Amino acid sequence: QVQLVDSGGGLVQTGGSLRLSCAASGGTFSRYLLAWFRQAPGKEREFVAAINWSGTNTNYADSVQGRFAISRDNAKSTGLLQMTSLKPEDTAIYYCAASIRPMAWVRQDYGIWGQGTQVTVSS
Protein backbone atom coordinates (compact mmCIF):
# COMPACT_ATOMS: atom_id res chain seq x y z
CA GLN A 1 0.00 0.00 0.00
CA VAL A 2 1.01 3.61 -0.37
CA GLN A 3 3.17 5.43 2.20
CA LEU A 4 2.79 9.15 2.87
CA VAL A 5 5.28 11.83 3.87
CA ASP A 6 3.92 15.27 4.65
CA SER A 7 5.94 18.47 4.76
CA GLY A 8 5.74 22.24 4.43
CA GLY A 9 4.75 23.31 7.91
CA GLY A 10 6.32 26.23 9.70
CA LEU A 11 5.78 29.44 11.64
CA VAL A 12 3.68 32.16 10.02
CA GLN A 13 1.97 35.34 11.18
CA THR A 14 -1.79 35.81 11.29
CA GLY A 15 -3.07 36.40 7.78
CA GLY A 16 -0.16 34.60 6.18
CA SER A 17 -0.07 31.57 3.92
CA LEU A 18 1.54 28.14 3.85
CA ARG A 19 1.45 25.23 1.44
CA LEU A 20 1.62 21.69 2.77
CA SER A 21 2.72 18.78 0.61
CA CYS A 22 1.99 15.09 0.87
CA ALA A 23 4.33 12.82 -1.10
CA ALA A 24 3.18 9.28 -1.75
CA SER A 25 5.27 6.23 -2.61
CA GLY A 26 5.03 2.47 -2.81
CA GLY A 27 1.55 2.19 -4.23
CA THR A 28 -0.98 3.47 -6.74
CA PHE A 29 -1.66 6.95 -5.44
CA SER A 30 -4.56 7.58 -7.81
CA ARG A 31 -6.57 4.78 -6.20
CA TYR A 32 -6.89 6.65 -2.93
CA LEU A 33 -9.04 9.35 -1.46
CA LEU A 34 -6.67 11.94 0.05
CA ALA A 35 -7.38 14.11 3.07
CA TRP A 36 -5.81 16.45 5.58
CA PHE A 37 -6.53 16.30 9.29
CA ARG A 38 -5.11 18.40 12.11
CA GLN A 39 -4.59 18.02 15.81
CA ALA A 40 -4.08 20.91 18.21
CA PRO A 41 -2.63 20.37 21.69
CA GLY A 42 -5.17 18.80 23.99
CA LYS A 43 -7.74 18.33 21.22
CA GLU A 44 -8.97 15.50 19.06
CA ARG A 45 -7.67 15.06 15.53
CA GLU A 46 -10.15 16.78 13.23
CA PHE A 47 -10.99 16.69 9.54
CA VAL A 48 -9.77 19.60 7.44
CA ALA A 49 -10.29 18.72 3.76
CA ALA A 50 -10.56 15.79 1.36
CA ILE A 51 -10.25 15.24 -2.37
CA ASN A 52 -11.38 12.20 -4.31
CA TRP A 53 -9.13 10.09 -6.49
CA SER A 54 -9.73 12.10 -9.67
CA GLY A 55 -9.72 15.54 -8.07
CA THR A 56 -13.29 16.24 -9.14
CA ASN A 57 -14.84 16.22 -5.66
CA THR A 58 -13.57 18.14 -2.63
CA ASN A 59 -14.91 18.71 0.86
CA TYR A 60 -13.85 21.13 3.59
CA ALA A 61 -14.49 21.67 7.25
CA ASP A 62 -16.56 24.78 7.85
CA SER A 63 -13.69 26.34 9.78
CA VAL A 64 -11.41 26.38 6.70
CA GLN A 65 -13.92 26.76 3.86
CA GLY A 66 -12.88 29.60 1.60
CA ARG A 67 -9.37 29.84 3.11
CA PHE A 68 -7.84 26.44 2.35
CA ALA A 69 -7.65 24.59 -0.96
CA ILE A 70 -6.85 20.91 -1.39
CA SER A 71 -5.48 19.57 -4.66
CA ARG A 72 -3.59 16.58 -6.02
CA ASP A 73 -1.31 15.65 -8.91
CA ASN A 74 -1.63 11.93 -9.56
CA ALA A 75 1.20 11.98 -12.11
CA LYS A 76 3.54 13.18 -9.36
CA SER A 77 1.87 11.19 -6.56
CA THR A 78 1.53 14.39 -4.56
CA GLY A 79 -1.20 16.10 -2.63
CA LEU A 80 -1.24 19.75 -1.59
CA LEU A 81 -3.04 21.88 0.96
CA GLN A 82 -2.82 25.60 0.22
CA MET A 83 -3.64 27.56 3.36
CA THR A 84 -4.35 31.29 3.26
CA SER A 85 -5.63 33.89 5.73
CA LEU A 86 -4.22 31.79 8.54
CA LYS A 87 -5.45 32.33 12.08
CA PRO A 88 -3.93 31.40 15.45
CA GLU A 89 -6.64 28.75 15.84
CA ASP A 90 -5.20 26.99 12.77
CA THR A 91 -2.14 26.11 14.86
CA ALA A 92 -1.84 22.31 14.92
CA ILE A 93 0.03 19.33 13.62
CA TYR A 94 -1.31 18.62 10.14
CA TYR A 95 -1.50 15.06 8.81
CA CYS A 96 -2.22 13.83 5.32
CA ALA A 97 -4.17 10.60 5.11
CA ALA A 98 -5.39 8.17 2.48
CA SER A 99 -8.45 5.97 2.25
CA ILE A 100 -9.93 3.48 -0.18
CA ARG A 101 -13.38 5.00 0.35
CA PRO A 102 -14.77 7.30 -2.37
CA MET A 103 -15.20 10.13 0.19
CA ALA A 104 -14.91 10.25 3.97
CA TRP A 105 -14.71 12.76 6.79
CA VAL A 106 -14.18 10.46 9.75
CA ARG A 107 -10.70 9.72 11.05
CA GLN A 108 -11.48 6.02 11.42
CA ASP A 109 -12.12 5.71 7.67
CA TYR A 110 -8.48 6.48 6.91
CA GLY A 111 -5.92 3.74 7.29
CA ILE A 112 -2.79 5.38 5.93
CA TRP A 113 -1.20 8.42 7.59
CA GLY A 114 1.75 10.70 7.15
CA GLN A 115 3.96 11.56 10.10
CA GLY A 116 2.59 15.07 10.51
CA THR A 117 3.95 18.57 10.02
CA GLN A 118 3.68 21.40 12.54
CA VAL A 119 1.90 24.62 11.59
CA THR A 120 2.14 27.52 14.02
CA VAL A 121 0.31 30.80 13.45
CA SER A 122 1.42 33.68 15.64
CA SER A 123 -0.92 36.51 16.61
DSSP code of residue 77: T
Instruction: Place 17 in a pLDDT band, splitting at 50, 70 and 90.
Output: very high
Mean of the per-residue pLDDT values of the chain: 97
In tens, the pLDDT along 75-117 reads: 999 999 999 999 999 999 999 999 999 999 999 999 999 999 9
The confidence score (pLDDT) of residue 1 equals 86
Reply yes or no on whether the pLDDT at 55 is more than 90: yes
Taking residues 49-57, report their average pLDDT: 96
The shares of helix, strand and coil residues in the chain, as percent rounded to the nearest 5, are 10, 50, 40
Instruction: Place 27 in a pLDDT band, splitting at 50, 70 and 90.
Output: confident
Residues in contact with 113: Cβ distance below 8 Å, sequence separation at least 6, in sequence order: 4, 95, 96, 97
Angle (CA) 87 119 113, round 5°: 125
For the chain, percent of residues with pLDDT exceeding 90: 98
